[in-house]
Amino acid sequence: MRGRGGKEKLFSDRNINLQVRLCCPRRNNRTTQEPTFQYDFPWLASFRVPALPPGVVLGEQPLPPGVPSGSGLEAGPKAASPFYPGCSGGGGDCEARGPSWSWLTRTCGRHTQTWPSHSPKPRSSLGQRRCPPQPGAGPGFPPRSPPLRPAQRWVICSSAAVTSSRCRGSAVPWFLPLGGMEFAELIKTPRVDNVVLHRPFYPAVEGTLCLTGHHLILSSRQDNTEELWLLHSNIDAIDKRFVGSLGTVIIKCKDFRIIQLDIPGMEECLNIASSIEALSTLDSITLMYPFFYRPMFEVVEDGWHSFLPEQEFELYSSATSEWRLSYVNKEFAVCPSYPPIVVVPKSIDDEALRKVATFRHGGRFPVLSYYHKKNGMVIMRSGQPLSGTNGRRCKEDEKLINATLRAGKRGYIIDTRSLNVAQQARAKGGGFEQEAHYPQWRRIHKSIERYHILQESLIKLVEACNDQTHNMDRWLSKLEASNWLTHIKEILTTACLAAQCIDREGASILIHGTEGTDSTLQVTSLAQIILEPRSRTIRGFEALIEREWLQAGHPFQQRCAQSAYCNIKQKWEAPVFLLFLDCVWQILRQFPCSFEFNENFLIMLFEHAYASQFGTFLGNNESERCKLKLQQKTMSLWSWVNRPSELSKFTNPLFEANALVIWPSVAPQSLQLWEGIFLRWNRSSRYLDEAYEEMVNIIEYNKELQAKVNILRRQLAELETEGGPQESP
Amino acid sequence: MEHIRTTKVEQVKLLDRFSTNNKSLTGTLYLTATHLLFIDSHQKETWILHHHIASVEKLALTTSGCPLVIQCKNFRIVHFIVPRERDCHDIYNSLLQLSKQAKYEDLYAFSYNPKQNDSERLQGWQLIDLAEEYKRMGVPNSNWQLSDANREYKICETYPRELYVPRIASKPIIVGSSKFRSKGRFPVLSYYHQDKEAAICRCSQPLSGFSARCLEDEHLLQAISKANPVNRYMYVMDTRPKHRMQSWWDTQKDIGRIIVRISSKIWSDERITESDEKKRLNAMANRAAGKGYENEDNYSNIRFQFVGIENIHVMRSSLQKLLEVNGTKGLSVNDFYSGLESSGWLRHIKAVMDAAIFLAKAIMVENASVLVHCSDGWDRTSQVCSLGSLLLDSYYRTVKGFMVLIEKDWIAFGHKFSERCGHLDGDPKEVSPVFTQFLECVWHLTEQFPQAFEFNEAFLLQIHEHIHSCQFGNFLGNCQKEREELKKLSNAKISKQMISLPRSYYIQFIRNPRL
């Protein structure tokens, strides 16, 4: 899928799947030095035919005619177009935008009340209106490059195909539609000519529309123009309209982008629309793109093995001996949503764990989430206790959580539901810990919303952001009515409370809601961001996602099935993960130097959670992922991200390791709308991107100068020591 | 000095606004002739200039002492707890007196001695030369000339001495036009766009009552229009909201209705029908329309444009509401946003920006000259003209250029800084955050185009401090004439400076000079 608007020209005469990204000239100079370049053209070194995915049929490809040749391979390096369209240099950098540069302009008055710190949306409109279109930017240069670029990797067929297309002397947009048997019948019309594409910020482009098993591709088949590649799984909803025989399909993506395709011919239009609809709502996970995607980059490190629970545990085990790894859930029998390996108090044996599991919702017995090395306090998480109306108790459960307390100490239980909701849950067999049975624990109720309330909030917010009526009052009241920032505030407040219990009160905590798979995870993971410097690094944050979201059993498949545009009401969708990312962004904005990653990293995670070529976010829990054999059949997101070329785009240039606990402000005055996500397609971020890039350059230059200074100082010291003895005699 | 009874109070607590659990610092409070100074136990100093104090409040006595809350014009709020009520009362009374001076001579600028000699001080006053600035724009030229009509402030007291007008506008025309315009503020050049040969001009509202014409004024507008060889038409931008005009209209109509009624009684014309009354009313209203804004029939090739920027009173209460919302602790998100919305502050900011964008577009896209006015032509007109020029000309986005812009469109053209900032103890209804709004609009632009500006937020904040501080002569007084008198009054001892920060504090490092 094109994460952020395709800008690459995909093919010309000689290269089959060479995607030439067009950069604006200003940004080219850096891209040429891109070290990943050598991976970019694998067939140049050794032409390999990658294994074809199962079910892919090689056959006669549609060969659209007539594109002038001569801008092919040689254009690649010159035009500074790394193979990953937009992956490096200009695109990558221009993608990098964020509030973090703002510290330069904000040397004082960081939180001055004078300037309302929240950004009214009309700023955007002003900005756009103020600037006449910049012809120099090149036609259709998108504001940011798509982060999901490996998705565009296409299957190379054979060298014969290369020659044949060359012999014909036509530069042919030539690709292999990954149309296996499964998809062939769904694609009623694989190709339509003269389709006009409208999308944010760019002039309309006319071209050929192709549907493949997983992508919607629009190519203008001309030099210097870019293409659109859209992963079907990124499509949230589509609308059709007809004016005469001209049909219009409006595609609304899960990343909140809206594009429009004008398709001549009513039948074609209907066919395309129904094909897209069918392909974007495939039932079977195994038909999803990750199972067909073959990476063209060199895998330095297999992401599936990057963050093993054993390794993570070692980080704690050096500091404490009170905890152990338990393999009680090896067959996923005790708790289907837990990973095979969990961390539990050493004094509790597996048999007790089995008993506790029957007392907790979904078998989610209390496990270790975080160990605070500073004072040995811990965060545990679980499902709700199944005390029911008759106040059932479980001695093993009490023993388990009491085992984590130091003598004479009290702990806190943070219930992410209000007391009312928790009491109502008893009627359904759930409940909360009774004071009588847990005398050493104090229970605090916080109210974090779930499910459809969050989903509706997201829908309202995105609708407000897409509303182009320029009226300040309307915008503010819509923003308010969406309640999105209220949810952010609630989650952050609860996370701060948890962190406060650990760091300030010196008390251990247990966090749970109902299932312990949504708000619980938001709170435990945010508390760790606040408390632990490691989770503010890139690898640490990845480990946190792996541990607290993927292994802890957040049902990504259910929650991220639909996004803000879907009309069909389904019960399980909720932007829980997006809210978490938004909260992280709020903290990042308040502490711009304490995070190793930047805003783009969070945006990238958001996109991949909803639609991806990687298998990381597939499935609802570890047990499902095991059954799907994701490790064998798909590529991990971390394998791609953790390569130096990608990491450079996600690294925050302002990062300085900060070993302290960071306490974010949760006052509504301090919370802002995450423009990088919600206004991304409504206003161009070009000027902010350029400013960010400039800031990166300044910081790099500064580092170079620092290094020079150090060398000179050393030389001076050497000269002085050499000169010293000579002078003395 | 006579107002100061207690100069030093020990064991005073300063509450930390940013801590959640009401932490405080203990230290000593000193009261000097110009500042309130608090030194805490770590020797950290907190200085508050008396002129910065917007309000002082003495709260009810508590067990720990007597709380004293000081609100500053730079929106800072300081919360002291003075152990003895007597001390607190003394300080309270002194501050009340010191923060509201009655005479210009008592302002800080008259006593401030920045340790510079006469030549340095003179340099400060000559740093910004507006004649130089007009030369940079390309005037005088074949279409525009310097007029000496106002050399002795004879035509308009609130305008500067040097004014640029169309070459074909003769002195009688200028004089005639100035009589037609409120406070004599006739249309003059504010900014000339050299490439487009279009101009931004400014004036005040026409004053004509029921005789809705002034031929000289019409001639002057024609002259402005003709001074632009590229475009036939020009815009007249009335920055006031139309609904205000409407309510003015309505009062006119009411008067008209009474007149019609009376006249019908006088003529004892019983047969006067409802429709007749309406016809007469409309005619009357049309004539009445001559006041307030120009009658379109009398001005050819002129397009009228209304942009709704509210008046100073609305802006003042809007800021008040905004500060209340921003200062409240423990708000819910919804309360905050509904408070923000009902304050209307951002709506007003957007209105100013919209007007400036319209102005910039008229010049860039349509090549048309624009005449901007509001009521008196020194508040909203200054906002729109200066912001429009800032959008058009990158020079104004440099440090020097921004100072020139303020000097030109605000100081020289008579924005009433002393009244709007409440430098002296005067009419509170004249106080309004007009200039603050301008700075905020610029700030919004710096956020959207970070590389387009040579300065950063600190620069804007610093200027905002100094419009209230009365430390330098720049912003003293209400117009150039008054400022010259003040300078004489001080024996030219006032120094002039807009910024008292080292350059590295306010320079935008990521500037891209091409923007």
The third-level CATH classification (topology) of the domain covering B121-242+294-506 is Protein-Tyrosine Phosphatase; Chain A (3.90.190)
pLDDT digits (tens, 9 = 90+) for B259-305: 545 544 444 444 444 455 555 555 455 444 444 556 666 677 888 88
Flag if A687 and B360 touch (Cβ within 8 Å): no
Chains A, B: CB contacts under 8 A, how many? 143
Q: How much is the pLDDT for B294?
A: 62
B338 chain-A contacts, CB cut-off 8 A:
476-477, 480
Q: How far is A126 from chain B (nearest CA, A)?
A: 7
B270/B264 Cα distance (integer angstroms):
7
**Could you give the dihedral angle defined by the CA atoms of residues A707, A711, A714 and A720, in that order, rounded to the nearest 10 degrees?**
-140
* A688 part of contact set with chain B, CB < 8 Å: yes
Q: Measuring CA to CA, how many Å separate A407 from each of A413, A507, A624?
A: 17, 12, 40
A104 chain-B contacts, CB cut-off 8 A:
456, 508-510
Please tell me whether the peptide bond between A653 and the residue prior to it is cis, using omega within 30 degrees of 0.
no
Residue A328 phi/psi, 5° resolution?
-60, -30
* A686 part of contact set with chain B, CB < 8 Å: no
- Above 60 in pLDDT, residue B351? yes
Flag if A671 and B436 touch (Cβ within 8 Å): no
- Above 90 in pLDDT, residue A50? no
Closest CA to A95 of A30, A146, A168, A54: A146
B444 chain-A contacts, CB cut-off 8 A:
123, 126
Token pair belonging to A24 = 């604006």
DSSP reduced 3-state for B455: strand
A318/B11 Cα distance (integer angstroms):
49
- Above 90 in pLDDT, residue B306? no
A691 chain-B contacts, CB cut-off 8 A:
450-451, 510, 512
Q: How much is the pLDDT for A685?
A: 84
Dump the DSSP string for B209-227: TTS---HHHHHHHHHHHHT
* A472 part of contact set with chain B, CB < 8 Å: yes
Q: Is residue B493 a contact partner of residue B472, using CB atoms and an 8 Å limit?
A: no
Residue A250 phi/psi, 5° resolution?
-105, 120
Give the residue, A575 or A296, on which the prediction is more confident: A575
**CA–CA–CA angle B402, B406, B408 (5° rounding):** 110
Token pair belonging to A585 = 């962004």
DSSP reduced 3-state for B304: strand
A647 Cβ contact partners less than 8 Å away, ≥ 6 residues apart: A538, A641
Q: Catalytic residue among B374, B385, B470, B479, which?
A: B374
Q: What percent of chain A has pLDDT over 90?
A: 50
Token pair belonging to B8 = 């030093």
Mean of pLDDT over chain B: 84
* A106 part of contact set with chain B, CB < 8 Å: yes
Nearest to A476 among B337, B361, B464 (CB): B337
Give me the residues of A, 60-99, that contact B with CB < 8 A: none
Residue A351 phi/psi, 5° resolution?
-60, -45
Token pair belonging to A60 = 């006669």
Q: Is B66 a catalytic residue?
A: no
Average of per-residue pLDDT across A29-44: 28
* A116 part of contact set with chain B, CB < 8 Å: yes
User: What separation, in Å, do the N-terminal and C-terminal C-alpha atoms of chain A show?
Assistant: 75
Mean of pLDDT over chain A: 76
**Residues constituting chain A:** 729
Closest CA to A410 of A304, A516, A501: A501
Q: Is residue A579 a contact partner of residue A487, using CB atoms and an 8 Å limit?
A: yes
Q: How much is the pLDDT for A512?
A: 94
- Above 70 in pLDDT, residue A602? yes
User: What separation, in Å, do the N-terminal and C-terminal C-alpha atoms of chain B show?
Assistant: 51
Q: Is residue A235 a contact partner of residue A274, using CB atoms and an 8 Å limit?
A: no
A414 DSSP β-pair partners: A444, A511
B207 pLDDT band (50/70/90 cuts)? confident
B443 chain-A contacts, CB cut-off 8 A:
115
Dump the DSSP string for A279-293: HHT-S-GGGSGGGT-
Q: Is residue A210 a contact partner of residue A183, using CB atoms and an 8 Å limit?
A: no
- Above 70 in pLDDT, residue A57? no
Average of per-residue pLDDT across A710-714: 96
pLDDT digits (tens, 9 = 90+) for A549-579: 999 999 999 999 888 888 777 778 899 999 9
B118 marked among binding-site residues: no
Flag if B350 and A127 touch (Cβ within 8 Å): no
Residue with tokens 């005449």: B371
Give me the residues of A, 277-316, that contact B with CB < 8 A: none
pLDDT digits (tens, 9 = 90+) for A185-195: 788 888 898 89
B202/B217 Cα distance (integer angstroms):
13
Q: In a mutagenesis test of the B interface, which of A460, A479, A669, A694 is the best target, namely the one with the most B β-carbons within 10 Å? A: A669
Residue of B nearest to A473 (CA): B341
Nearest to B451 among A107, A667, A687 (CB): A687
Q: How much is the pLDDT for A182?
A: 65
Percent helix, strand and coil across chain A, each to the nearest 5: 40, 15, 45
B66 marked among binding-site residues: no
Structural domain spans, chain A: 180-282, 309-681
Flag if A115 and B440 touch (Cβ within 8 Å): yes
Flag if A489 and B333 touch (Cβ within 8 Å): yes
- Residue A324 identity (one-letter amino acid): R
- Above 60 in pLDDT, residue B421? yes
B388 chain-A contacts, CB cut-off 8 A:
none
A582/A602 Cα distance (integer angstroms):
8
Residue of B nearest to A479 (CA): B337
Closest CA to B125 of B471, B410, B473, B417: B473
Ramachandran region of residue B126, left (φ > 0), alpha (ψ -120 to 50) or beta? alpha
A75/A227 Cα distance (integer angstroms):
17
Q: How far is A127 from chain B (nearest CA, A)?
A: 7
Closest CA to A305 of A602, A635, A548, A644: A635
B380 marked among binding-site residues: yes
The third-level CATH classification (topology) of the domain covering B8-100 is PH-domain like (2.30.29)
A263/A248 Cα distance (integer angstroms):
6
B505 chain-A contacts, CB cut-off 8 A:
107-108
Q: How much is the pLDDT for A567?
A: 75
Its sign, for the CA torsion B419, B421, B426, B431, is: positive
Closest CA to A265 of A199, A326, A188, A324: A188
- Above 90 in pLDDT, residue A445? yes
CB atoms under 10 Å from CB of B275, counted, come to 8
Helix (H) or strand (E) holding B457: helix B457-469
Helix (H) or strand (E) holding B484: helix B480-489
Helices B457-469 + B434-448 axis angle, to 10? 170
Average of per-residue pLDDT across B33-41: 89
Nearest to A668 among B336, B509, B515 (CB): B336
B332 chain-A contacts, CB cut-off 8 A:
486, 489, 668
Strands (E) in A416-550, as ranges, are 441-445, 509-512
Flag if A126 and B446 touch (Cβ within 8 Å): no
Q: Is residue B238 a contact partner of residue B306, using CB atoms and an 8 Å limit?
A: yes
B401/B397 Cα distance (integer angstroms):
6
Q: Is residue A16 a contact partner of residue A157, using CB atoms and an 8 Å limit?
A: yes
Q: Is residue A239 a contact partner of residue A276, using CB atoms and an 8 Å limit?
A: no
User: pTM higher than 0.90 for the full model?
Assistant: no
Nearest to B337 among A108, A479, A688 (CB): A479
Q: How much is the pLDDT for A467?
A: 86
B311 marked among binding-site residues: yes
- Residue A223 identity (one-letter amino acid): D
Q: Is residue A383 a contact partner of residue A332, using CB atoms and an 8 Å limit?
A: no
* A702 part of contact set with chain B, CB < 8 Å: no
Token pair belonging to A255 = 């990343």
A144 pLDDT band (50/70/90 cuts)? very low
Give the residue, B75 or A114, on which the prediction is more confident: B75
A325 pLDDT band (50/70/90 cuts)? very high
Q: How far is A668 from chain B (nearest CA, A)?
A: 5
A483 chain-B contacts, CB cut-off 8 A:
333-334
Q: What percent of chain B has pLDDT over 90?
A: 38
B43 pLDDT band (50/70/90 cuts)? confident
Q: In a mutagenesis test of the B interface, which of A104, A108, A114 is the best target, namely the one with the most B β-carbons within 10 Å? A: A114
- Above 70 in pLDDT, residue B46? yes
pLDDT digits (tens, 9 = 90+) for B457-482: 999 999 999 999 888 888 888 998 88
Nearest to A688 among B349, B357, B450 (CB): B450
* A699 part of contact set with chain B, CB < 8 Å: no
**CATH annotation of A180-282:** 2.30.29.30
CA atoms within 13 A on the CB side of A332: 14
Q: How much is the pLDDT for B296?
A: 64
CB atoms under 10 Å from CB of A655, counted, come to 19
> What residue ranges of chain B are covered by domains with CATH 3.90.190.10?
121-242+294-506
Give the residue, B512 or A80, on which the prediction is more confident: B512
DSSP reduced 3-state for B314: helix
Flag if B333 and A105 touch (Cβ within 8 Å): no
- Above 70 in pLDDT, residue B221? yes
* A2 part of contact set with chain B, CB < 8 Å: no
- Above 90 in pLDDT, residue B134? yes
**Lowest-confidence pick of A253-267, A626-640, B106-120, B182-196:** B106-120
**Lowest-confidence pick of A642-651, B97-106, B360-369:** B97-106
Q: How much is the pLDDT for B126?
A: 79
> What residue ranges of chain B are covered by domains with CATH 2.30.29.30?
8-100
Average of per-residue pLDDT across B486-502: 74
- Above 70 in pLDDT, residue B323? yes
Dump the DSSP string for B348-373: HHHHHHHHHHHHHHHHHTT--EEEEE
Its sign, for the CA torsion A120, A122, A124, A130, is: negative
Give me the residues of A, 554-583, that contact B with CB < 8 A: none
Flag if A116 and B336 touch (Cβ within 8 Å): no
Q: How much is the pLDDT for B118?
A: 76
B136 marked among binding-site residues: no
Q: Measuring CA to CA, how many Å separate A707 from each of A596, A693, A716, B404?
A: 21, 21, 14, 40
Flag if A688 and B331 touch (Cβ within 8 Å): no
B431/B439 Cα distance (integer angstroms):
16
pLDDT digits (tens, 9 = 90+) for A12-32: 333 323 222 322 333 333 333
Q: How much is the pLDDT for B245?
A: 57
